[in-house]
């Protein structure tokens, strides 16, 4: 399935653009699911029909779904209480009824990610259009699966499950039930679910479309978002310049705004595949208005993002890791090698990535930023690198 993730600054019209994108695909004969993270029914307003926790047909070949985080959290908590019944009874803990449960911080994001996974794995659709939260919440959401999996592996390493046979003995000695069994099972289940979400986000058919109004604020937001997405290995396949004013405006007080739009569009066109969507003069509502928005089509799928390792051992004795980071500033970059991992900080973003297998047997020899690409040089470690005759 092809997946298009749509986000942008708050108020940029990203939900409307997501709805128009999904409708155009459906009009062209593509079975499309439109998934929204919006807490309110802005999506329903744009489509001219209500949306809710159950996938609903909004138009021929177009289904809209706005998952209910509260309901999903209630289901997860009920299941947790059942698995941990012995420990809760021992501690004298009172059970929570579903009616008194409200989502904890982060529960809404996890619920939406699981809905995204379920939607992407469905065979009923050919295209998934995702209306993400506004920036920077969307960037944090997209980083969540990888970060949580890393925390789980550090806190509950899978290899420690080898001591499973000792838990009954330890439980009898301690005189209390040992929660490790269900705890590891829960961690393993979450790891599998988060890995499935990661697989959707990193799939070669998945790409991001940014929506912004051309102007100083929009330009800053796009620059920051593109860097954060690139660090996550996500491709920005298109930039939708929304609510673009016509070249001639009757009111002189709009002349300054028009000049700002022209400047931003000229700068964006040097870097991005820009699609200008003219201002309708009103908030789009319903099928006719969505059809009037000149959003880009959904095919073909974009080329995948690659972080290649170039072999320059014969030329200068190095392997070079090429990491595209458009918009990065040299003074805002920081690299830390930690075992088989590399901690990359780019502006306000940080990511811990595993080194490719060949680079794990090397030491970092230097790095440089050139033309929006971070190039890290690695020199083979003589103690680990195989040599002729060894």
Q: How far is CA 274 from CA 16, 87, 207, 241, in A?
A: 17, 57, 15, 7
Residue 168 sits at the vertex; the CA angle it makes with 167 and 172, to the nearest 5 degrees, is 115
CB 379 within 8 A of CB 363: yes
Strand partners, 378: 319, 364
**CATH 2.60.40.790 domain range(s) in the chain:** 309-380
Peptide bond into 300 cis (omega under 30): yes
Please write the tens of the pLDDT for every residue from 347-382: 999 999 999 999 999 999 999 999 999 999 999 998
User: 309-380 is classed in which CATH architecture?
Assistant: Sandwich (2.60)
- For 139-161, the pLDDT digits (tens) are 999 999 999 999 888 877 765 55
- Distance CA(58)–CA(65), nearest Å, equals 9
Which of 3.40.830.10, 3.40.1500.10, 3.30.420.40, 3.40.50.300 is the CATH number of 2-68+104-292? 3.40.50.300
Q: Say whether pLDDT at 389 is over 50.
A: no
pTM of the model: 0.87
- Between the alpha carbon of residue 122 and those of residues 3, 193, 197, 200, 256, the distances in Å are 12, 15, 13, 12, 48
User: Please, where in the chain does CATH 3.40.50.300 lie?
Assistant: 2-68+104-292
Mean pLDDT within 194-201: 93
Which residues on adjacent β-strands are paired with residue 322? 375
């Amino acid at each position: 399935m092809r997946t298009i993730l749509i986000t942008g600054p708050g108020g940029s019209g990203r939900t409307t653009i997501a709805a128009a994108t999904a409708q155009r695909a459906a009009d062209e004969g593509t079975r499309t699911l439109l998934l929204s993270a919006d807490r309110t029914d802005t999506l329903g307003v744009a489509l001219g029909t209500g949306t809710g926790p159950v996938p609903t047909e909004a138009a021929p070949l177009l289904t809209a779904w706005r998952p209910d985080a509260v309901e999903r959290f209630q289901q997860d908590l009920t299941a947790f209480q059942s698995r941990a019944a012995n420990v809760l009874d021992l501690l004298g803990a009172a059970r929570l009824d579903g009616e008194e449960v409200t989502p904890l911080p982060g529960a809404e994001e996890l619920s939406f990610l699981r809905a995204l996974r379920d939607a992407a794995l469905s065979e009923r659709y050919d295209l998934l259009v995702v209306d993400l939260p506004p920036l920077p919440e969307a960037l944090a959401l997209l980083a969540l699966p990888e970060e949580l999996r890393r925390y789980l592996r550090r806190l509950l390493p899978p290899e420690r499950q080898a001591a499973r046979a000792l838990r009954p003995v330890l439980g009898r000695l301690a005189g209390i039930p040992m929660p490790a069994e269900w705890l590891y099972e829960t961690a393993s289940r979450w790891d599998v679910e988060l890995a499935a979400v990661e697989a959707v986000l990193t799939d070669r058919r998945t790409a991001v479309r940014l929506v912004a109004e051309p102007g100083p604020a929009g330009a800053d937001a796009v620059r920051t978002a593109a860097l954060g997405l690139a660090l996550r290995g996500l491709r920005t396949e298109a930039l939708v310049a929304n609510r673009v004013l016509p070249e001639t405006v009757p009111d002189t007080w709009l002349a300054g705004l028009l000049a700002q739009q022209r400047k931003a569009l000229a700068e964006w066109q040097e870097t991005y595949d820009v699609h200008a969507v003219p201002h309708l003069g009103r908030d789009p509502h319903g099928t006719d208005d969505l059809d009037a928005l000149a959003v880009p089509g959904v095919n073909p799928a974009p080329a995948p993002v690659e972080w290649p390792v170039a072999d320059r051992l014969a030329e200068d004795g190095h392997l070079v890791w090429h990491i595209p980071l458009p918009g990065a500033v040299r003074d805002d970059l920081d690299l830390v090698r930690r075992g088989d991992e590399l901690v990359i900080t780019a502006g306000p973003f940080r990511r811990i990535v595993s080194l490719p297998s060949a680079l794990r047997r090397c030491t970092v020899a230097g790095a440089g930023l050139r033309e929006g690409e971070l190039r890290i040089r690695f020199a083979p470690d003589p103690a680990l690198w195989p040599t002729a005759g060894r």
